[in-house]
Amino acid sequence: MSFINYASREINCKIVYYGPGLCGKTTNLQFVYQKTAPEAKGKMISLATETERTLFFDFLPLALGEIRGFKTRFHLYTVPGQVFYDASRKLILKGVDGVVFVADSQEERMDANIESVENLRINLAEQGYDLDKIPYVVQYNKRDLPNVLSVEELRRELNPTNVPDFEACATTGEGVFETLKAIAKQILFDLKKGK
């Protein structure tokens, strides 16, 4: 849940990037990190293995500016995508304000995508959240690869509730900020409603 500090006039929100292993969650954060002005970002932390697979989480704090005199900070986290890190994934979802699901568009990764979305729903429910009620966007990543499914097919399987979705190529940055902006918008509008 977001943290509102009237004393220092700050609002902090937590965004979690979720998805199957090697779908590009960390790459999303790396691109955001590279393209953000130094004064707007903190240090990016990656708790990863020697082969650069995420072990616990990546963390990137962003201070994008002020809204109505309140400093607005977003803390971006990724989860480890590999199936056997489920205990860690649950922990990172604690206190989440919004989720980005990063799907791997490649045909052979469809089963992994579906398994990961189901896992997301279950892990959120354990923390008392309903995926259909929290801010949520879907990103179809790796659109530049040759063996990708059509967006229609991906949408049918992965986005039945029609939340905002985006095509992306996280390595070149295409769609990365569009995705981030969409989730930030949903979170702030939720705050506005006083949820």
Give the number of residues in contact with another protein, rule: CB under 8 A: 47
d(CA 44, CA 62): 10
Name residues whose C-beta falls within 8 Å of residue 64's C-beta, 6 or more positions apart in sequence: 40, 72, 73, 74, 184
Q: Looking at beta carbons only, is 84 or 192 nearer to another protein?
A: 192
Range in contact with another protein (rule: CB under 8 A) among 18-26, 38-46, 110-118, 155-163: 38-46
Q: Is 57 in the site for another protein (CB under 8 A)?
A: yes
Q: Looking at beta carbons only, is 85 or 101 nearer to another protein?
A: 85
Range in contact with another protein (rule: CB under 8 A) among 21-29, 86-94, 105-113, 164-172: 86-94
What are the backbone dihedrals phi and psi of residue 80, each rounded to the nearest 5 degrees, phi first? -75, 130
Q: How far is the CB of 34 from another protein (least distance, A)?
A: 15
Name residues whose C-beta falls within 8 Å of residue 107's C-beta, 6 or more positions apart in sequence: 147, 148, 149
Do 175 and 166 meet the contact criterion of CB atoms below 8 Å apart?
Answer: yes
d(CA 24, CA 39): 25
Q: Is 5 in the site for another protein (CB under 8 A)?
A: yes
Q: How far is the CB of 59 from another protein (least distance, A)?
A: 5
CA angle, 44 then 190 then 141, to 5°: 50
Among 128, 146, 161, 162, binds another protein (CB under 8 A): 128
Q: Is 91 in the site for another protein (CB under 8 A)?
A: yes
Among 34, 49, 83, 94, binds another protein (CB under 8 A): 94
Q: How far is the CB of 115 from another protein (least distance, A)?
A: 22
Q: Would you tell me how many other CB atoms lie within 10 Å of the CB of residue 128?
A: 6
- Using DSSP's 3-state secondary structure scheme, residue 187 falls into helix
Do 76 and 109 meet the contact criterion of CB atoms below 8 Å apart?
Answer: no
Contacts with another protein, residue ranges (CB under 8 A): 1-8, 11-12, 14, 42-43, 45, 47, 56-57, 59, 61, 64-65, 67-70, 72, 75, 87-88, 90-92, 94-95, 127-129, 177, 180-181, 184-185, 188-189, 191-192, 194
